[in-house]
Structure formats: structure tokens, C-alpha cells
């Protein structure tokens, strides 16, 4: 029954980035609204300039906690289709694992919450909290219209806390509470030389090569032992707390695992920190792409007229994208050789996020996880990635978010053969019930 519903949900090719799928995205929103109404919630579709938002709520009563559960019904494109074992929008169950686009990210996880609510309503006739479901259709394309939607519906979305299941578990069966996310700041730089590509025999040696200048510039970003060498970069970085370092050192994910998952010949990072500390608690500077000059087969003796690189920086509390990009730009300008020009273009940014896992709501979330995964210790982690919407919630609605993800490290979200174990789906249904009960106890 639960699985039938999930399979129906997964059959919608609700790929938000594809204009040809606009109809499928809308049908998926309609289907979702009907399911929410069917279990007894007041559910409505809200059109936006992009894909619609689905909102649902029970009858709110004073004196109870108000909990907002956020999720998304849109999915990533299914490409490359040839690499899927079964069809991406025809869900298949193999060895207790559901294979389909969206199985983990995020249909399986948000439907688990809906079914948890359905179970509670069936058994008890009411929920222990005032509940709001906010399920959007544009998460995979940057939640473009969600901030405006939140601002516009601010009063009806007032809540005490937000819960989201769209992050990962450190290992199968290990209940995981994510209390921090890194932020991001992006920048592109272009090193400009002569007005056109030059013959490297005729001019090489007398005109500076922009590709060489770029390589020198990029080499100034780090020290040899992996520290970021941009002046002031670490100034606002909040040091890791002793309890974090202690508890992360006991998690069931070690360097061996990172080596095997990544296939890298060896691990490398900032001296003085473990891999998990580097991933979750320390900022980075990354070159995401680099280009310029001849890229074809064979040889071409050219001195390219320009070279470019795309950089992103992962940020931790209390860095801000603007301050970091100011520092990076000043550093690049100072380090750039005088014989070339330098153009810097700022890209998108997102602030880092952190909430106290030992707060009243954090402790309630931990109790809920222990009840949903009996006999297991809760892993308290941060993640290296960024979920900008979590900061938007904080900024617009003024509330913290509890990240209670059910995705496994090998769930293949965004890739071919995305999958979600039935066990995680069932655990998610139970987690919703224990979470609402534990949050109600904080009132």
C-alpha cells in the first residue's frame, strides 16, 4: 500500500528544469495535493511564476507547537538514460531497494513524512502539533520562486521549527542529525593577454602567456600543505568545538571509505585536521574549471589571447560570501602579473548554516531518531554541501531547520540508478510520527 503510493509518485517525470515536462510537473503537484487532502489535511496548490507550491495543514490550535515540514516533488533529469538498469520513471523493487529517479531525492523522503501523518491521523484522529507541509517544485533548479513565496505567505507559514528530510545518513542504519551546512561563494576570473591568439614562435618570450599567468595566480590560492593562502580568509572561521571533533572521530566513516568512494590515489587537505573536519568544519577554495588555448588533437604553437578559471569557495560559520569574495578579489588583483589584464566576475553565494543540536528542538529531534532507529546512537554531523533554502527559511521566517536525512551514501541521487531502500522509507514513516510527538513535548 505504502509502496504502491510511492511508485505512483515516482512515475511522474517531474523534471523541473525541462520545459517539455512542465505538464508532468503540474500533474505531480495535483496528485500530491489530492493525497494530502485524502488523509484529511487542508491542501492547496499555489501557482508561482515557475512551478507550483503545494501547501497543506491540519487545523491549528493555540498552545501547541507549529511544525513546518519542507520537501520537494521535482526531480533531476534522468540522463544518461542508457546507464540505468531499469527505466528511471518506471520504479522497480530489487532486493528490498526501490530504483527510480526521485526515489531518495526527494519523493521517497517527503512521502514518508506524509504517510507518517496519515498513520497518526488514522490511529489517533489528530496530530500532536499544528502542522504545515510546504512542498515545492523548483528545488532542483535553485528554488527560484520560493523566497518570494515565503515572504508573500509569511503569516500563514509562521512556525516554531522546520523539519526537512533531504540530507544523508552517515552509514546504513545510523540515524543522522545534520546540524550544519557549508555555504558557497562563486567567482570567475579571466586573464587577458594580446588582442588575438599569437604565433608562439614569433611572439613567445616577449609577450606574457595568459595561461601561464593564470596557473601562477591559481597556485597562490593555497600553501603546499593545503591551507588557503588568501589573506584574512580564516579570520571569521568559527573553530571546531571539542565535542564535535570528539564525536566525529567515532563515526563509522573513515579515510578508507572516502578513498574507496572517490577512487583518489590518496587523500589531501588542510594540515592539522581529519578528513571529516576538512569536509564539514573547514572552508575551502576550489578550482572547478580551467581553460584557454588550444584543446584539440595534435600540436598548435599558439600563445593564447586569454585563459579563464571558475572558482568556488565552501564557507563555514561565520564567513559570508560577500566578505570572502572581497578578500579573494583583492588577493587576485594584488597577485596578478602586470603584463596581463584581469577580469573578475562574481557568481552566486549562499551563507553557511549551523544550529545547536543540543537546543530544545535539537534534543527532541535526537529522541525522535533514537525511537525510529532503536538501539542506535545518533550521529551528529555537518555536511560539506549547501542547501540555500535553509538560510532563506531562517532569514524570512526566522526559524531553525532540523535536517533529518534518510539518504544513504550510495543512493545515486542525481545520477543513474537512483535508489532508496524500503527499510529507509519505512523508517521515515516512523520517524515522522516520533518527531511530531517529541516536538509536541517541547511545548
Residue positions annotated with a catalytic role: 74, 139
- Contact (CB, 8 A) for 128 and 438: no
Between strands 198-199 and 379-383, the pairing is unpaired
CB of 147 to Zn ion, least distance (A): 18
Closest to Zn ion by CB, 110 or 396: 110
**What phi, psi does 165 have (nearest 5°)?**
-110, 90
Q: In what order do the strands lie in the sheet with 97-99?
A: 92-94, 97-99, 419-421
CB of 105 to Zn ion, least distance (A): 4
Closest CA to 133 of 121, 149, 119, 117: 117
The C-alpha atoms of residue 118 and residue 125 are separated, in whole angstroms, by 9
CB of 260 to Zn ion, least distance (A): 24
Distances (CA, A) of 101 to 41, 142, 227, 390: 27, 18, 38, 23
CB of 102 to Zn ion, least distance (A): 9
The C-alpha atoms of residue 430 and residue 11 are separated, in whole angstroms, by 24
DSSP per-residue letters across 81-93 = GGG-SS-TTS-EE
The C-alpha atoms of residue 332 and residue 220 are separated, in whole angstroms, by 8
The residue of the chain with the least Cβ separation from Zn ion equals 105
Binding residues (CB under 5 A) for Zn ion: these are: 105
Closest to Zn ion by CB, 105 or 277: 105
CB of 405 to Zn ion, least distance (A): 12
Closest to Zn ion by CB, 142 or 293: 142
Closest to Zn ion by CB, 18 or 188: 18
Closest to Zn ion by CB, 15 or 213: 15
The C-alpha atoms of residue 120 and residue 430 are separated, in whole angstroms, by 10
Distances (CA, A) of 341 to 26, 222, 325: 48, 22, 19
Amino acid at each position: 500500500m505504502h509502496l504502491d503510493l510511492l511508485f505512483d509518485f515516482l512515475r511522474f517525470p517531474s523534471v523541473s528544469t525541462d520545459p517539455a515536462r512542465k505538464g508532468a510537473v503540474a500533474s505531480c503537484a495535483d496528485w500530491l495535493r489530492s493525497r494530502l487532502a485524502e488523509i484529511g489535511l487542508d491542501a492547496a496548490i499555489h501557482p508561482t511564476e515557475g512551478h507550483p507550491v503545494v501547501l497543506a495543514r491540519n487545523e491549528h490550535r493555540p498552545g501547541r507547537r507549529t511544525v513546518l515540514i519542507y520537501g520537494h516533488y521535482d526531480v533531476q533529469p534522468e540522463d544518461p538514460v542508457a546507464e540505468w538498469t531499469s527505466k528511471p520513471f518506471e520504479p522497480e523493487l530489487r532486493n528490498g531497494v526501490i530504483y527510480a529517479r526521485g526515489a531518495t531525492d526527494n519523493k521517497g523522503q517527503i512521502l514518508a513524512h506524509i504517510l507518517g501523518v496519515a498513520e497518526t491521523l488514522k490511529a489517533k484522529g489528530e496530530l500532536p502539533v499544528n502542522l504545515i507541509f510546504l512542498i515545492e517544485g523548483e528545488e532542483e533548479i535553485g528554488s527560484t520562486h520560493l523566497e518570494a513565496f515565503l515572504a508573500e505567505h509569511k503569516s500563514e507559514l509562521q512556525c516554531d521549527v522546520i523539519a526537512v528530510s533531504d540530507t544523508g545518513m552517515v552509514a546504513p542504519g545510523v540515524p543522522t542529525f545534520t546540524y550544519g551546512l557549508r555555504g558557497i561563494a562563486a567567482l570567475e576570473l579571466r586573464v587577458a593577454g594580446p588582442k588575438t591568439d599569437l604565433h608562439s614562435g614569433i611572439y613567445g618570450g616577449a609577450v606574457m602567456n595568459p595561461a601561464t599567468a593564470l596557473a601562477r595566480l591559481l597556485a597562490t590560492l593555497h600553501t603546499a600543505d593545503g591551507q588557503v593562502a588568501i589573506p584574512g580568509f580564516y579570520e571569521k572561521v568559527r573553530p571546531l568545538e571539542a565535542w564535535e571533533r570528539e564525536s566525529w572521530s567515532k563515526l563509522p566513516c573513515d579515510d578508507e571509505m572516502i578513498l574507496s568512494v572517490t577512487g583518489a590515489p590518496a587523500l589531501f587537505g588542510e594540515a592539522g585536521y581529519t578528513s571529516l573536519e576538512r569536509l564539514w568544519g573547514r572552508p575551502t577554495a576550489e578550482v572547478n574549471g580551467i581553460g584557454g588555448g588550444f584543446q584539440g588533437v595534435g600540436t598548435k604553437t599558439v600563445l593564447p589571447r586569454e585563459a579563464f578559471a571558475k572558482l568556488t569557495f565552501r564557507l563555514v560559520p561565520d564567513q559570508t560570501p560577500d566578505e570572502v569574495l572581497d578578500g579573494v578579489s583583492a588577493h587576485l588583483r594584488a597577485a596578478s602579473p602586470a603584463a596581463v589584464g584581469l577580469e573578475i566576475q562574481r557568481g552566486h553565494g549562499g551563507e553557511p548554516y549551523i544550529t545547536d543540536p543540543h537546543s530544545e528542538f535539537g534534543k527532541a529531534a535526537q529522541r525522535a531518531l533514537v525511537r525510529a532507529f532503536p538501539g542506535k546512537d545518533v550521529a551528529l554531523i555537518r555536511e560539506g554541501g549547501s542547501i540555500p533554502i535553509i538560510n532563506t527559511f531562517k532569514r524570512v521566517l526566522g526559524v531553525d531547520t532540523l535536517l533529518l536525512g534518510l539518504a544513504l551514501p550510495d543512493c545515486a541521487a542525481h545520477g543513474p540508478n537512483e535508489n532508496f531502500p524500503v527499510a529507509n522509507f519505512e523508517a521515515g514513516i516512523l520517524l515522522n510520527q516520533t518527531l511530531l510527538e517529541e516536538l509536541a513535548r517541547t511545548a
